[in-house]
Amino acid sequence: MKASSISAIFFLISTLCSLSSTFVSSQADSCSTNLDLTSFQLPFNISPSIHCVSAWSSQDYILRYEQASSELWSFILSAPDSNAYIGIGFSPDGRMVGSSALVGWISGTDGSTAVKQYYLEGQSPGLVHPDQGDLKVASSVVVSRPSRIYLAFQLNSTTQPLTRIIYSVGPTGSLPSSPSYLLTQHAEAVSTTLNYVTGTSSDQTPYSKL
């Protein structure tokens, strides 16, 4: 085989490997990922020392958070974009009922994004109330990236936010819409405990026990 042909083959293999690496990195996120948050154009600033935790490993949920000031906390929840809503709830006891949650989604038709707070009075859709809840949201936004969705928000709080955090993902293709913004029952959910100081998440309880 001619040297020129061998060189061409090696060049092709190198190019394919590079493209494959770029494709994988565009879909993945982890606490070891050097995520360029400045490109997200968030409505608030994030420090390089922001905490990061693998919040729900089976669903590839990554949570980043920090105390921005004495009365302000910043959060960024990252999850795969499966054409479903993603949710993060703050609960006084680890159960869904009585918790307040922020839910974000990206429209599969026009790519528009939305964030709403919900109060979970009960587990049926009629008892999950939009635009209600105990969270004092200073700002919120959903950012779309290739195969990932990022729900970023800030909470006004003079004390540390609740440590019992519930994560959820909705059924594929079933997104809230106006005028009711009814939230269909989630496909999966888990209850966790977050240690804000150490940046660790534990005690994952599946939905059947919430």
Q: What is the pLDDT along the chain (210 residues), one digit of tens a residue?
A: 555 544 444 443 343 344 333 333 445 899 988 888 888 889 999 998 899 999 999 999 999 999 999 999 999 999 999 999 999 999 999 999 999 999 999 988 888 899 999 999 998 888 999 999 999 999 999 999 889 999 999 999 999 999 999 999 999 999 999 999 999 999 999 999 999 999 899 867 766 555
Domain match, 22 and 116 both: no
Domain that holds residue 153: 47-209
In a domain, 20, yes or no: yes
Is the bond into 179 cis (omega within 30 degrees of 0)? yes
CA dist., res. 106 & res. 82, Å (int): 9
Residues 124 and 176 in one domain: yes
On whether both 22 and 86 belong to a single domain, the answer is no
CA distance 115 to 199: 25
- Closest by Cα among 60, 29, 51 to 160: 51
CA–CA distance, 128 with 140 (Å, rounded to integer): 20
| Same domain? 118 vs 181 | yes
pTM equals 0.84
CA-to-CA distance for 124 and 118, rounded, in angstroms?
A: 13
103 lies in some domain: yes
Rg, C-alpha atoms of the chain: 20
